[in-house]
Amino acid sequence: MARLITALLSFLLLTLASASTVQFEIVQNRDVRTAQLQRRSLVLQRRFLDRRAGTVTAALTNAEVQGLYAANITIGTPPQSFGVQIDTGSSDLWVPSDAACAVTTQLQNGCPNGQFVSSASSTFQDVGQGDFNISYVDGTGSTGDYFQDTMRIGSATLTNFEMGLATATTIGTGIMGIGYNTSEANVDTGNGTEYANMPLAMVNQGVINSAAYSLWLNDLQATSGNVLFGGIDTAKYNGELISINVYSTGRSRRVTSFTVAWTSLSATSSSGTDVLTASNFAEPAILDSGTTITLLPDEICTKLFSELGASINNQLGAVIVPCDLAKNTGTINYAFGGPGGPTIKVQMSQLVLPLTTTTGQVPTYQNGQTVCQLGIQPAGQLPTLFGDTFLRSAYVVYDLENNQIALAQTNFDAKNSNIVSFASKGAPIPSATQASNELAVTQTASGNPRVGGATAAGTDAAATSNPTATGLNAASGFKTSAAQSVQPFAWSKVVVLAVSVTFMGVGGLLL
């Protein structure tokens, strides 16, 4: 047998050596190929789903007229629909009751985004009658009960979820507070106990892996953005995602708000760049989506208004600029955590807000230029707050488990999505780099008092009303669009809707 095999091999070798080519007929098995492609597709789908597992995305509507971002949720069985303002500066989800909405003396416009009828829900449970009490620095507030019911947002369903039910309120739209549960209304004004608010409840019920979420508001002109619970979306930002620490309140040593170290402010225009803060500057600042505008220290506002040609109108309680400033290519640049931290550039188009009178007119200067509101105002006695006029330009990851914030320049109008979930409870922020040699700050203000306008009752705005730019390189570049030495027409004869509306853009905070 061995000789026969050897002979056959010799014959084959001789044949191959003598032939100029050897051809083999290959027959493609299409069924096998289809099966291979299907297996490959399933593998890719599993990898994609594994990356997205443990996340919930909820669309946010830019309700520009109301000065807020709203998410759609349902509560109860059968579901009752609501639009609620998303607020990183408070911690309770609450909605108005049908009884509260019927009191027209308190709510002139009723409750346009939904009212809860507790008797219509078979899963409703009142767990704290009279315990819910939340007040805001602009004088608005809500009182009522704590209750539990089924709540749905995006693809998530939370059962026996605790919320506030406003049986009396001066605010017609519910608020979805997603801050630290140490800042819940019940802690200060109720029985002092904390409960699992939305981020914690999502973890406890297995919806997300870690108490964290990402906020992408998109640009001022966009109609929608989103909040992503349990993960990040790498397609929604540009450049590097850099993490910085969240700091506690000095008095309590507890983390109650998203307070970060703001370490620099500069202005850049076609004529140069000016750093408006000292080299050793470090100021605690609260990131708060429930505030329409941004509140900065008065002395910094004086310099910034000099750059932009802005002026304070005390009668309106607003900082006004020519609307043409929105076309300027300059930026206001915010740095955090020191030299190794993130820097966010805010374009003029994101800072200039429209003003409209109650009769639908657009105010003008005496030279014919239209008047707009600047989305930055002096804080007076309030803490420094970075509201929507800053947050639109930043992609922000809020990590409540590790007391971290990650920031990157937002990718406006991003069409794609690449979601990466937090791997486990307490896992670090995906794709983020920790800021090196970070500067620390201490928040001495108690709580998160926030309003949409410049100041609240009893506060002072000490910034210069009509500053004159001196020694500022960037000022001339900004003022190519600015109105020089002109005054608005008779403001006393008009009521500006946008100013009163921005005061509606409160998130929540207890007094």
- In this predicted structure, what is the pLDDT of residue 26? 36
Give the Cβ contact number of residue 1 at 10 Å. Answer: 5
Spans of the chain, pLDDT less than 50:
1-28, 32, 37, 41-51, 446-469, 484-486, 488-489, 491-511
Distance separating alpha carbons of residues 496 and 356, to the nearest angstrom: 6
Residues 6 or more apart in contact with residue 244 via CB below 8 angstroms: 260, 261, 336, 337, 341, 342, 404, 405, 406, 407, 435, 438
Residue 445: its pLDDT value, please?
61
Distance CA 323, CA 220 (A): 14
Structural domains of the chain, with CATH? 56-204 (2.40.70.10), 212-502 (2.40.70.10)
> What DSSP string describes 203-240?
HHTTSSSSSEEEEE---TT-SEEEEEETEEEGGGEEEE
Greatest Cα-to-Cα distance within the chain, rounded to the nearest angstrom: 115
- The two structure tokens encoding residue 16: 């191959």
| d(C-alpha 348, C-alpha 328), whole Å | 6
List of residues 6+ apart from 36 with CB closer than 8 A: none
Active-site residue list: 87, 288
Q: What pLDDT does residue 61 have?
A: 96
Beta carbons within 8 Å of 155's beta carbon, 6+ residues apart:
56, 57
pLDDT, residue 52, reads 60
